[in-house]
Amino acid sequence: MNPFTIRSVTHADVPTLFSLIQALADYEKLSDAVTGSPDQLEEHLFGDRPYIEAIAADHAGQVVGFALFFYSYSTFLTKPGIYLEDLFVLPDYRGQRIGKALLTYLAQLAVDRGCGRLEWSVLDWNEPAIGFYKRMGATVLPDWQTCRVTGDALTAMAQQSQNN
């Protein structure tokens, strides 16, 4: 029997979930990129229009890992998908199959919900994660690059339609 359980997050988990997000950002050397708050996270998880879902790995009453995800859509498959935004396990709990349990739970959720895919991104320098994902059966797509527009660039892009 596993010494941990995988479960949906609750309102009470939000402060811990936010601290794990900060720990993930620190691991990825992106601490400065965390500009949100626990209140915003709670609103996006449980508000009138939830944008995200999250599951937690619980060990003896302590959340030691999480996966945060949302729906995507494949026009080619004409099916919804699940996009895994973040998967993180505290360093002291790695190697205990918690990451595998989180990913397997999401795969089953995708199947149960009739999704055509489960996908995510991984930083190219994160060899431990890349190896883990490949062992789990994932294909790391070599020909795809992530595009992102945020902050002032997002505002400028939005204003382009007003200027034409």
Catalytic residues: 133
Whether 98 contacts 134, CB under 8 Å = no
Beta bridge partners of 147: none
Q: How would DSSP label each residue in 37-101?
A: -HHHHHHHHHSSS---EEEEEEETTEEEEEEEEEEEEETTTTEEEEEEEEEEE-GGGTTSSHHHH
Tokens matching residue 17: 């979930």
